[in-house]
Copies of this chain bind each other. A is one copy, B any other.
Amino acid sequence: MSLVIVGSIALDSVTTPYGEVDKVLGGSAIYASMASKHFCKTHVVGVVGEDFSKNYICMLQENDICCKGIKFVPGKTFYWKGAYNDMNRAETLDTQLNVFADFDPIIPTDYRKCEYLFLGNIDPELQLRVLNQMDNTKITACDTMNFWIDCQREKLLEVISKIDILFINDDEAKMLTGEHNIFGAAEAAGKLGPQLIVIKRGEYGSMAVTEDFIFFAPVYPVKNVIDPTGAGDSFAGGFMGYLATQKNYNKTSIKNAMIYGTVMASFNIESFSLNKLIEIDLKDIEARKESVINSIQL
């Protein structure tokens, strides 16, 4: 089965205690795709400007990611500049939407039959437009952020009512539902529509909450976190990519997807940009998966 990923494609300038990089490849769609591509055929949809290097497209294609959905338009690529003093929280220093401001995601015809869809963190209005273009989805998922919860609440609730899986972090889940307790928030979020709520908790791991069960995934203990940018997106990409390989969508596949998401995020934070995700293979992923499972097995 194959996966469509829609989201931002960015050039990022990032400073962490371990160094800095200037205008490197990033964005939710890219991080998620470079994680999911290890598991399933991945199709990416996004927009870039004239300054976007063709080498990036080549790199994505070499990684077997279909780039037909990436549109080149006049202008500059979405730019984000951030710094991490505390590795758990990015400080945004600059955001230039550029071509992303007028992004209107058009799903290529041959993507529309794909069964799996991940909507990265973009305007819920656009997430809805994508949902309406898909013909045959089995599992749809979306991510979001505080900005949309605040400013596009109604549209966001409409998206959430239509998808199967919501990826969201602790604070955003509380903000979305008005609940102060994270377990109350997860339960309340489930009542908005999705069968599955995946709460992302940064260095504390993640949890999957459905009506029937709760599952806690730890983190892989990375001692040298170089750059947390894209951790949530690579988590979601690994999760959705693995799920797309599974015949059944059930407790077991969800738990395993949580572990694969954890593993992909752990690789991602070990380097700037996509450097680590490019370099690893399935053997590395499986080895780390075993290690993560061992750290929660009695």
> A interface vs B, CB < 8 Å?
17, 87, 180-184, 187, 201, 203-205, 207, 213-216, 218, 221-225, 252, 255-256, 259, 293-298
Residue in B181, B221, B252 whose beta carbon sits within 8 Å of that of A225 in the complex: B181
Known contacts A205-B204, A223-B181; decide if A298 and B294 are in contact (CB<8 Å): no
| Residues of chain B lying within 8 A (CB to CB) of residue A182 | 203
> How far is A225 from B182 in the complex, measured between Cα atoms in Å?
11
B184 lies within 8 A of A255 (CB): no
B216 lies within 8 A of A183 (CB): no
B223 lies within 8 A of A184 (CB): yes
Residue of B nearest to A179 (CB): B223
Residue in B181, B184, B201, B216 whose beta carbon sits within 8 Å of that of A296 in the complex: B216
Known contacts A181-B224, A223-B181; decide if A213 and B298 are in contact (CB<8 Å): no
| Residues of chain B lying within 8 A (CB to CB) of residue A180 | 17, 87
> How far is A205 from B218 in the complex, measured between Cα atoms in Å?
10
Distance from A18 Cβ to chain B, minimum over Cβ atoms (Å): 11
The 9 sampled A-B contact pairs (Cβ below 8 Å) are A87-B180, A181-B223, A204-B204, A204-B205, A216-B218, A216-B296, A252-B298, A296-B297, A297-B297
A222 lies within 8 A of B259 (CB): no
